[in-house]
Amino acid sequence: MQEYPTETRLILLLKEKGQRSLQDLSQDLGISKMGVLNHIKQLESRGLIRRIQKKGRVGRPYYLFAVTEDSKENLANSNAWMLQSLVSYLKETGHSDLMEHFLKDRYEQIRIDYEKKLSHTAKGQKIQELVRMREDESYFPVLKDTGHDSFDLQEFNCPIYQIARYFGIACNLETRLFSSVLDMDVESTHRQVDGHGVCRFIIRPRSEKE
């Protein structure tokens, strides 16, 4: 996992692997159990991590740790509540078309910006540069080379989560954005708004057109 701050790495581990013990997290992060516990206490106070008490075979109960249901919203941005109120209002008052027009226009601007930044990047390096840009935008991406010029891109944070949960078109536009700027086939297999801990994209060379 890329070297994000420890508390961010802790959240991403729990989102990726599910419930983990203190010992597991200590080994995953490479720091002492006391160090992990200090970070957990900070994240608990922010409502990002919860404890799950388990009964041991003998002796005292033990705890597992997991992200909370609200962690996606809290991690996405500090204005999550206001954003949620806005998109909910547009949906409930019959103005969904305004948001959809906004999203289409916004993603067109992002596409232009991405293509401009990638215009001087060699084709084989474009996906690495795209991942770097997504990292700067707080998507917490992790890229895996799966061979045959194909890739598995996983993003562990979704800054547009509050919009995407009401307007699924945002996820579709994001997939099309990747496909356009990379000139590759992109398939979305996991979405955080569907209950997964990650947004996952399978990226392959373009299929030959008949």
Each residue's pLDDT, cut to its tens digit, for the chain (210 residues) gives 445 778 888 888 888 888 999 999 999 999 999 999 999 998 888 788 899 988 767 667 888 999 886 655 555 544 566 677 788 888 889 989 999 999 999 999 999 999 999 999 998 899 999 999 998 888 889 899 999 999 999 998 888 888 888 899 999 999 999 999 999 999 999 998 888 878 999 999 998 654
The confidence score (pLDDT) of residue 70 equals 60
What share of residues in the chain are helix, strand, coil (percent, to 5)? 50, 20, 30
**Domain carrying residue 177:** 77-204
- Find the farthest-apart pair of alpha carbons in the chain and give their distance in angstroms, rounded: 67
For residue 6, the number of C-alpha atoms closer than 13 Å in the C-beta half-sphere is 17
The confidence score (pLDDT) of residue 30 equals 92
Give DSSP secondary structure letters for 8-28. HHHHHHHHHH-SEEHHHHHHH
Q: How many domains does the chain have?
A: 2
Positive/negative CA dihedral, 29, 40, 72, 55: positive
Q: Could you say which of 17, 48, 68 is where a domain stops?
A: 68
Q: Do the strands 185-190 and 62-67 form a parallel or antiparallel pair, or are they unpaired?
A: unpaired
The Cα 200–Cα 29 span in angstroms is 23
Give DSSP secondary structure letters for 179-201. HHHHTSEEEEEE-GGGT-SSEEE
**pTM over 0.95, yes/no:** no
Q: Are 66 and 11 in contact (CB under 8 A)?
A: no
Helices marked H in 143-188 — which ranges? 161-164, 169-182
CB crowding 13-45: b at 16 or more within 10 Å, else e:
bbbeeeebebebbbebbebeeeebeebbeebee
Please indicate, yes or no, if residue 192 is contained in any of the structural domains.
yes
Within this chain, do residues 119 and 172 fall inside the same structural domain, yes or no? Answer: yes
Within this chain, do residues 52 and 128 fall inside the same structural domain, yes or no? Answer: no
Within this chain, do residues 187 and 139 fall inside the same structural domain, yes or no? Answer: yes
The confidence score (pLDDT) of residue 78 equals 45
Within this chain, do residues 122 and 155 fall inside the same structural domain, yes or no? Answer: yes
The confidence score (pLDDT) of residue 1 equals 45
Q: Could you say which of 43, 68, 93 is where a domain stops?
A: 68
Query: Domain holding 59: CATH number?
Result: 1.10.10.10
Q: Which residues contact residue 52 at a Cβ distance below 8 angstroms, ignoring those fewer than 6 apart? A: 19, 63, 64, 65, 66
Within this chain, do residues 124 and 200 fall inside the same structural domain, yes or no? Answer: yes
